[in-house]
Amino acid sequence: MSGWTIGIIGGSGLYGVDGIEEGEWVEVASPWGLPSDKLFRGRVGHARVVFLPRHGRGHRISPSELNARANIDVLKRVGVTDVLAISSVGSLAEDRPPGSFTVADQFIDRTKGRSSSFFGTGMVSHVSMADPVCPRLSALAAQAARAAGAQVHDGGTYLAMEGPQFSTRAESRLYRSWGCDIIGMTAMPEAKLAREAELPYALVGMVTDYDCWREDEAVVDVAQVMAQLSDNAAKARGLVTHLLRNLPVERPASPIDTCLDAALITAPGARDPAVLAKLDAVAGRALRRAEV
Catalytic positions:
209, 211
Q: How many CB atoms lie within 10 A of CB 18?
A: 11
257, 44, 40, 45: which is closest to 136 by C-alpha? Answer: 257
**Residues pairing with 5 in the sheet:** 48
Helix axes 68-77, 187-196, angle to 10 degrees: 40
Interatomic CA distance for residues 170 and 103, integer angstroms: 26
Are 44 and 87 in contact by the 8 Å Cβ rule? The answer is no
186, 244, 182, 230: which is closest to 3 by C-alpha? Answer: 244
Are 17 and 84 in contact by the 8 Å Cβ rule? The answer is no
Planar angle of CA 221, 181, 11, nearest 5 degrees: 55
68, 103, 29, 10: which is closest to 192 by C-alpha? Answer: 68
Does the CA dihedral 254-101-237-241 come out positive or negative? negative
**Residues pairing with 83 in the sheet:** 7, 201
Q: Is the peptide bond before 164 cis (omega within 30 degrees of 0)?
A: yes
What own/partner pairs with CB < 8 Å and gap ≥ 24 does 213-219 have? Answer: 213/92, 213/169, 213/172, 213/173, 213/176, 219/166, 219/169
